[in-house]
């Protein structure tokens, strides 16, 4: 039951367009005591059906830019293989710390984005008065 709830929470977040994995992986490792590699694998697999469904909808609406798409995927493949091989072989503790640093950068990005939005809103409000 707790697994469904954790999935539900990260699903809501990723449905809103911000990375669900950033919530799901820490939730799985911190609260449910699942290993770092296992949690990352769960996130990868969980992402697949959701993304497939979303892509169908986006394709129908013509939102997918085809220019450059093959290059991005083709060059992504060696990266995806190398990254996954390192993750599988590396010590879980190092991977966890590395993930935490990556998460911290994402946090900084979101916070500055939120601050910029807030500032913009404030200035438009002042201009209207």
Partner 1 sequence: MFVHKIILFVQNSHMKNLKLASIGLVVGLANGLFGAGGGSLLVPALQKFMKLETKKSHATTLAVILPLSVISAGIYIWGVDLEWKIVLLVSAGGICGGVIGAKLLNKLAGWWLNILFGAFLAAGAIRMLFS
Q: Which of 52, 126, 128, 129 lies at the binding interface for partner 1 (CB under 8 A)?
A: 52
What mask of x and - would describe binding to partner 1 in positions 3 to 22, judged by CB under 8 A? xxxxxxxxxxxxxxxxxxxx
Note whether 94 binds partner 1 by CB under 8 A: no
Listing DSSP states for the chain in one string gives: -HHHHHHHHHHHHHHTTS-SHHHHHHHHHHTS---HHHHHHHHHHHHHHHHHHHHHHHHHTT----TTHHHHHHHHHHHHHHHHHHHHHS-HHHHHHHHHHHHHHHHHHHHHHHHHHHHHHHHHHHHH-
Note whether 123 binds partner 1 by CB under 8 A: no
Q: Smaller CB distance to partner 1: residue 98 or 128?
A: 98
Note whether 60 binds partner 1 by CB under 8 A: no
Q: Smaller CB distance to partner 1: residue 24 or 128?
A: 24
**Least Cβ distance, residue 128 to partner 1 (angstroms):** 17
């Amino acid at each position: 039951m707790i697994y469904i709830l954790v999935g539900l929470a990260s699903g809501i977040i990723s449905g809103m367009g911000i990375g669900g994995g950033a919530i799901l992986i820490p939730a799985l490792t911190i609260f449910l005591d699942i290993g770092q590699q296992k949690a990352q694998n769960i996130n990868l697999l969980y992402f697949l059906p959701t993304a497939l469904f979303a892509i169908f909808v986006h394709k129908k609406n013509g939102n997918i830019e085809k220019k450059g798409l093959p290059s991005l995927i083709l060059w992504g493949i060696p990266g995806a293989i190398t990254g996954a091989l390192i993750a599988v072989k590396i010590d879980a503790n190092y991977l966890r710390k590395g993930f935490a640093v990556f998460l911290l950068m994402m946090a900084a990005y979101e916070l500055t984005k939120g601050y910029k939005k807030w500032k913009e809103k404030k200035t438009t409000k002042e201009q209207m008065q």
